[in-house]
Every structure is written in structure tokens, then in C-alpha cells.
Amino acid sequence: MNRPRIVIEKDPDAVAAAAARNWLRLAREAVSEQGVFHVALSGGSTPRRLHAALAAAAPPPPWAAVEAWFGDERCVPPDDPESNYRMARETLFDRVPIAPGHIHPILCSPADCRRAAHAYARTLAARLPAAAGGMPRLDLAVLGMGPDGHTASLFPGSCILSETERPAAAVYVDRLKAWRVSLTRPLLEAARHLMFIVTGADKAPAVARALATPHDPAGLPVQRLAPAGEVTWYLDAAAAAGLEETRP
Ligand SMILES: O=C1O[C@H](COP(=O)(O)O)[C@@H](O)[C@H](O)[C@H]1O
């Protein structure tokens, strides 16, 4: 496994600008090699700044060749304020010339979360090239991390962490008393690049723990990943505050 590259910037805007530069580079490389860039977007609130930077980028990303997927989704309607798709639509899709047919939301509601996960897994398998082990292969998965070390909707103690075959699955998150759909560990591990974007002092302890041992099968969900491709962490100074003493 490659060691993660760690980029520390002074504040969340500088983090977003640095992550956007790498996103653009990877998009251009993928499009020149294979004519398409398959990227999974992260949910939560941190990606808003990245989306703003991408929407303002000059020259812009090759939007006509971008296929946008989602790392996870809350089982709510797509116009719900909690919806990751809604956040991405408002901050990115409504502002850039991406083809509507290239946007792949996870369409779910509490009544059909499992069906939504199956449908998403099928669409991923149909549209993405296969990696060596047969998993659909994303060019890039943008990920966040919660203070508890969850990434996408892979939460501590969750049975979805043991998934080895399905690229996407439905999961009940006890702590939130809510269903979600998430890309799974094997799908994320097969991606060509993973990009973690983490900001804020509340995440500093989890960042320090995660980067002290980037792969730990018994660690935080983020440490359970054994990525085949490149991994870059983008941190602001607050999130990186506990790092110096613990980084190997
Ligand atoms: O619940 C979620 O949280 C993580 C981190 O979110 P953030 O708002 O703290 O950046 C995110 O990666 C995930 O996609 C999201 O659903």
C-alpha cells in the first residue's frame, strides 16, 4: 500500500483550493487517457468549499467528460436539506456544464434504502471499468472524515465495514437512528485515488490517530481501508494540530 501524501494548509479555503488543483489534474489525466473521469463526491458540509473552487476554476475541468457519483447518501428525498445530492446540486451541478446524464445520485428514501443500494451497485458495475479484483474502479473518491473516524457512511462498529463483495450497501447508523447508503470498503480500496478533506479542530484527535497508522484493520473506519491507489489527505492547520508527535 502507498503511504498517504499529507497536505497541510492554513485554513479551509486554502485546503479547498489545493484539493481542487489536484482534482483538476486527475480529471485532465483521466480524460486524456480514457476519455472519462469517474469521481465520487463526498457528503457532509466540508465539500462545499471544494465545489465552489471547482465551479470557479479557470480553465475549468473537462465537465463534458466528468461522471459524478456519491460516496454516501442519507435515505431522504433528493430535495431534503439533509441530502448529499441536494448539497452537490446547489454548490456544484447548478453552476457547471456537467451533463445531467453524467450525474449519478443515490436515489433513496427510508422505505427503499436497500433497493436503492442494489440499484446503485448495479449502475456502478455497468458504467465503471473493473479493477483487478473485479470491483468497479473510480478514478477518484473524495472523502471526508467525522470526529469519530467515519468516512462516507462507514461508521465505527458498523457491519458494513465487513462487506467484501458489494460495491454499495444500505446501512443503519445506530448513533443517528437513520438509514444510509454508502460505497463500501472494497469499492473505495479499488479506486485509483482517494482524497480525504478534513478541516476543524474537532477532528484533530481522529486525524492524529488515523495518520499515525494509516492502515489498521482494527482501527477507526478510515484506517480499515487498504487502498490500492494513491491517497492524499488535505488538512487545515486546526485538523493537523495533533499530527507532529504521532506521524511515523
Ligand atoms: O456524514 C458525513 O460526514 C462525513 C464527514 O462530514 P463533514 O460534514 O464533517 O465533512 C462525510 O464524509 C460523509 O460523506 C457524510 O455523509
Ligand 1 atom closest to Cα of residue 145 = 5
Residue nearest to atom 12 of ligand 1 (CA): 144
Q: How far is the CA of 196 from the centre of ligand 1 (A)?
A: 11
Query: Does residue 223 form part of some domain?
Result: yes
Q: How far is the CA of 47 from the centre of ligand 1 (A)?
A: 9
pLDDT one-digit tens code per residue, 113-149: 999 999 999 999 999 999 999 999 999 999 999 999 9
Residue nearest to atom 2 of ligand 1 (CA): 44
Q: How far is the CA of 33 from the centre of ligand 1 (A)?
A: 31
Query: Does residue 196 form part of some domain?
Result: yes
Query: Does residue 78 form part of some domain?
Result: yes
Query: Does residue 33 form part of some domain?
Result: yes
**pLDDT for 248 beyond 80:** no
Q: How far is the CA of 146 from the centre of ligand 1 (A)?
A: 6
Res 107: pLDDT:
93
CATH number of domain containing 113: 3.40.50.1360
Q: Spell out which residues line ligand 1, taking CB within 6 angstroms.
A: 42-46, 71-72, 84, 143-146, 151-153
Q: Percent of the chain having pLDDT more than 70?
A: 97
The total number of structural domains that make up the chain: 1
Query: Does residue 247 form part of some domain?
Result: no
Determine the structural domain holding residue 19 and report its residue range.
Answer: 5-236
Query: Does residue 228 form part of some domain?
Result: yes
Mean pLDDT, rounded, for 30-53 = 98
Q: What is the pTM of this model?
A: 0.96
Query: Does residue 37 form part of some domain?
Result: yes
DSSP letter string, the chain: -PPPEEEEESSHHHHHHHHHHHHHHHHHHHHHHHS-EEEEEP-SSTHHHHHHHHHH-SSPP-GGGEEEEESEEESS-TTSTT-HHHHHHHHTGGGS---GGGB------GGGHHHHHHHHHHHHHHHSPB-TTS-B--SEEEE---TTS-BTTB-TT-GGGG--S-SEEEEEETTTTEEEEEE-HHHHHHSSEEEEEE-SGGGHHHHHHHHHSS--TTS-HHHH---SSEEEEEEETTTTTT-TTT--
Query: Does residue 95 form part of some domain?
Result: yes
